[in-house]
Amino acid sequence: MQIDIDIEDKRWDALGFEDLCARAAAAVAAEFGLDPELCELSVLGCDDARIAELNAEFRGKPSPTNVLSWPAEERGAAAPGQAPAPPETDIFGAITLGDLAIAYETCAREAAEQEKSEADHVMHLLVHGLLHLLGYDHISEEDAVLMEGIEIRILDRMGIVNPYEQ
């Protein structure tokens, strides 16, 4: 998988951020049978201040959040609870997934509050963000059940317990 990683907050380095990104992307690609050699992704490891700026600019919410996603193309499902169509290669033979941004302080705080390791929580959020890039969402109850089930399955294969039961 070609992953363009930009680490703006050096605290991510101690967590092995690049490895976490690679593992999450590989696990999601495997779940959907995507050829990782064709997939492209950008990930920004930032702090709360930066993600608050991005959240304000793109969502009109001037506050920090844990992860933001910008899909390369709209891939939403036709109806609630249905899976979106899988991505296809572009004219260059690549599958461009899109961009993610993840905030260090929010992730660390949430992990502490939920009594889980920062690495496991970040892995969950990266998987969650990648699913958004593939067109999954949690706006409706049906969509949330589908998306959470996929997250749980992927994380379980990685040895990470169900994040919704902790």
Give the residue ranges of the annotated binding site. Answer: 128, 132, 138
* Collapsed DSSP state (helix, strand, coil) of residue 131: helix
Strands (E), 23-154: 39-46, 67-71, 95-103
Residues of each annotated binding site for Zn(2+): 128, 132, 138
Residues 22-36, buried b or exposed e (16+ Cβ, 10 A)?
Answer: bbbbbbbbebeebee
Closest CA to 40 of 126, 153, 133: 133
Residue pointed to by tokens 């993610």? 100
